[in-house]
Chain A
Amino acid sequence: MEFAFYFASGVAVVSTLRVITASNPVHALLYLVISLLAVAMCFFSLGAPFAGALEIIVYAGAIMVLFVFVVMMLNLGPAVAQQERAWLTARIWIGPSLLAIALLAQLLYVLFSDPSGATLGQTSVSPKEVGIALFGPYLLAVELASLLLLGALVAAFHLGRHEAKE
């Protein structure tokens, strides 16, 4: 599974780079979908198929659809691609690149200080274990998240209701 992991993570890195550099917004979103699928593959190869499947269902299958939906409505044409290209000058790259290099250095340090790769695909976490963990030690977090979602639902309903009918 080690090969699968490195392959999928390579795809994820390249496609994420293309998300940033693509000048057409819809093409950038397509690369983002591919990047999410590659991250899901990483989860699969690390022995967490449940997390991988949820990553595809929730992020690639639902959230990204809404992103694409909104961008499609904006009717972006060649003019926007032109503008995007003008914005992506070399000067803009300095700050984000420095931050990314700092993260990369940290990642490399962790990888080389513990090079055994012992956690790679040694155990497989089944959906049942995830459920038991969520409703055992992490019960409070689940309840807080459900409260937040309920609040968001009520807010969305309030914003979307028709005032004229009432």
Chain B
Amino acid sequence: MSWLTPELIDVIVQVLKAIVILLVVVVAGALLSFVERRLLGLWQDRYGPNRVGPFGMFQLAADMLKMFFKEDWTPPFVDKPIFTLAPVVAMSSLLIAFAVVPVTPTWGVADLNIGLLFFFAMAGLTVYAVLFAGWASNNKFALLGSLRASAQTVSYEVFLGLSLMGIVAQVGSFNMRDIVEYQQQHLWFIIPQFLGFATFFIAGVAVTHRHPFDQPEAEQELADGYHIEYAGMKWGMFFVGEYIGIVLVSALLTTLFFGGWHGPFLDALPWLSFVWFALKTGFFIMLFILLRASIPRPRYDQVMAFSWKFCLPLTLLNLLLTGTLVLATQ
């Protein structure tokens, strides 16, 4: 076993950890479809899926079986290569961005110097999924949906980046692990960066185009928007991609504003770090679902005006205040 050097074992362990994180994120994304429907039922005073198995727990398996065996119909009028590419981009771009999230002190895929920028880059690429799906479908509702999506995403990405610059200015690094360590020594960023938190949360909801920012797929006006022509597994990839987006934004909110894996009793029981991380992330996922359960959908022009006239000035103000404080306390 001379070829099994310590370096090689190290590489294998790192690769295995990355694969485990990938699988956990995908499975969590898939399970969320069931969790969301049950919770929506609970909050809206109805049952939700409760027939298949105990508490309807096997509903997910039934849905997956249906999706796999459905005919994967590609309409004859679509642009085939781009039509096939779009769902792949939708699912993979946010999944790749999860690589920079530090789950616990020892678990995490990539410890990048430019971690936060890497997330912005991947979030910027997600818009192509919707754009290409809408264009390649050759359908006016799909095209309208993707036009809305691109305008909305570009507008909200402007302050998605700016809302986190206050944190970067305070920590002095784009590295996610540095940001978590800084929060251990000082306050969690939810208090000094409250405006940043509020705007990042709104932008995060808009980038995953979840309700109330689901203009691209507004059922009433656009009959499902950009994925109207999709069926079977291709539609399933859009569907799971949306939930992966929720998991990613929740994990980022936890890491950036709520101290990541930090919590009480960590010195005695180090394995609790994952539990704290999962609990905090779960809390934000619930918040996403509660938003969908409670808020009506605004008009499209209201969404755009809210972005440029309210959120952008707010983030600039936050950045100015943070900059002044950082300079004054130096």
- Interface, chain A (partner B; CB < 8 A): 24, 26-27, 30, 33, 40, 49-50, 53-54, 56-57, 60-62, 65-66, 68-69, 72-73, 124, 126-128
Complex contact A69–B150 (CB within 8 A):
yes
Residues in chain B near residue A24, CB distance under 8 A: 79
Residues in chain B near residue A69, CB distance under 8 A: 131, 147, 150-151
B114: Cβ under 8 A from any A Cβ: yes
B36: Cβ under 8 A from any A Cβ: no
Shortest distance between the CB of B175 and any CB in chain A (Å): 10
13 A–B contact pairs at CB < 8 A?
A24-B79, A26-B135, A27-B81, A30-B85, A54-B117, A60-B124, A61-B124, A61-B157, A65-B153, A68-B131, A69-B131, A72-B147, A126-B113
- Choice from A57, A72, A127 contacting B131 with Cβ under 8 Å: A72
Complex contact A53–B118 (CB within 8 A):
yes
Report the Cα distance A60→B154, complex, angstroms.
12
Shortest distance between the CB of A36 and any CB in chain B (Å): 11
Which B80-109 residues have C-beta < 8 A from chain A? 81-82, 85
Complex contact A26–B79 (CB within 8 A):
yes
Report the Cα distance A144→B132, complex, angstroms.
36
7 additional contacts, CB 8 Å, given A40-B121, A65-B150?
Answer: A26-B132, A30-B82, A30-B85, A57-B120, A57-B124, A61-B121, A72-B134
- Interface, chain B (partner A; CB < 8 A): 79, 81-82, 85, 112-114, 117-118, 120-121, 123-125, 127-128, 131-132, 134-135, 143, 146-147, 150-151, 153-154, 157, 161, 172, 174
Residues in chain B near residue A40, CB distance under 8 A: 121
Q: Which residue of A lies closest to B135 (CB)?
A: A72
- Choice from B112, B121, B134, B135 contacting A56 with Cβ under 8 Å: B121
Residues in chain A near residue B114, CB distance under 8 A: 49-50, 53, 127
Report the Cα distance A147→B43, complex, angstroms.
51
Complex contact A49–B128 (CB within 8 A):
no
Shortest distance between the CB of B140 and any CB in chain A (Å): 10
Report the Cα distance A150→B120, complex, angstroms.
24
Complex contact B125–A56 (CB within 8 A):
yes
Residues in chain B near residue A27, CB distance under 8 A: 81-82
Report the Cα distance A68→B87, complex, angstroms.
17
Residues in chain B near residue A65, CB distance under 8 A: 124, 127-128, 131, 150, 153-154
Report the Cα distance A57→B120, complex, angstroms.
6
Shortest distance between the CB of B145 and any CB in chain A (Å): 12
Q: Which residue of A lies closest to B117 (CB)?
A: A53
Residues in chain B near residue A53, CB distance under 8 A: 114, 117-118, 120-121
